Amino acid sequence: MIAYALLGGPQDCWPANIKQIFQAAKEKNDLIIGVDRGSLLLTEMGVMPDLAIGDFDSLHLAEKNEIEAKVTDIRYSNPVKDFTDTELMVRAALNDYRVAGLKIFGATGGRLDHFLANLYLVFAADIRRSAEKIVLLDKQNVLQFYLPGKHRIVAKKGYSYFGVAALGAVKDLNIRGARYSLKNYSSPYPCIFTSNEFLPGQPYFNLSFTSGLIALIFAKDIDRYYNLDEKKS
């Protein structure tokens, strides 16, 4: 079972087809999770979450009542909290529901402290070992986490670029078989190699490193280039 979670990040950063994504997931009986305001946003899409997490303080009473009436598993977080709602959600999905994968939407855009908290939650020891199950998605990025080892990274249709980010210290980072390669790179600090590309006719590259935590970002340009294309035509 895969989990699809919606957080409260700004809607203009979501993929355009998010409703279809969640409806298809619901039909396949995958786990649907709403985090705080994300629960309400899911119900507005006609997708009732299986699990709702949050303090729900930002919701109108009628909205809160609807969530409470219809969602089977509701977990209330403490507004003055040691853990973010997203951390609670990730732990519930991984530990209680034992999902094979966790796709998180609404984790980007808006407040940067929220985004960095979503990005850094993989450093919690119990989440870290399952980091490779977690994916953050928005309208122009797919961010996957990788643990030390050797990985074959396969191209994702529609994403022209990828970036390799070491979120902390990294040792012996190698990128082989991509447009820009990297050999035995180590850094005591975070670093990123942006705008790399797959080679023509080779829809994969090899990533390896011996310690650290990598965020691999599949990215595409949108919006602003539409304007440019109009000007060019």
Residues forming contacts to a second copy in the complex (CB under 8 A) are 8, 10-13, 37, 58-60, 63, 84, 108-114, 116-117, 120, 123, 138, 140-141, 143, 161-163, 165, 167-169, 187-192, 194-195, 213, 215, 217, 219-225, 228, 231-232
Which class for 224: exposed (0-12), middle (13-18), buried (19 or more C-beta within 10 A)?
exposed
Q: ∠ at Cα 148 (143, 151), nearest 5°?
A: 65
Instruction: Please report how close the Cβ of residue 112 comes to a second copy at its closest, in angstroms.
Output: 4
Q: Provide CB contacts within 8 A for 124, sequence distance 6+.
A: 87
Which among 151, 135, 173, 142 has a CA at the least distance from the CA of 2? 135
- Which of 10/203 has CB closer to a second copy? 10
- Which of 99/153 has CB closer to a second copy? 153
Q: What single string gives the DSSP state of each residue in 44-106?
A: HTT---SEEEE--TTS-HHHHHHHHHH-SEEEEPPSS-SS-HHHHHHHIIIIIS--SEEEEES
Instruction: Please report how close the Cβ of residue 101 comes to a second copy at its closest, in angstroms.
Output: 19
Instruction: Please report how close the Cβ of residue 218 comes to a second copy at its closest, in angstroms.
Output: 9
- Which of 60/176 has CB closer to a second copy? 60
Instruction: Please report how close the Cβ of residue 97 comes to a second copy at its closest, in angstroms.
Output: 25
- Which of 31/52 has CB closer to a second copy? 52
Distance (Å) of CA 115 to CA 7, 109, 111: 11, 7, 6
- Which of 100/180 has CB closer to a second copy? 180
- Which of 120/204 has CB closer to a second copy? 120
- Strands annotated E in the chain: 2-6, 31-35, 51-54, 73-76, 101-105, 134-137, 141-146, 149-154, 161-166, 170-176, 182-187, 191-196, 204-209, 214-219
- Which of 37/151 has CB closer to a second copy? 37
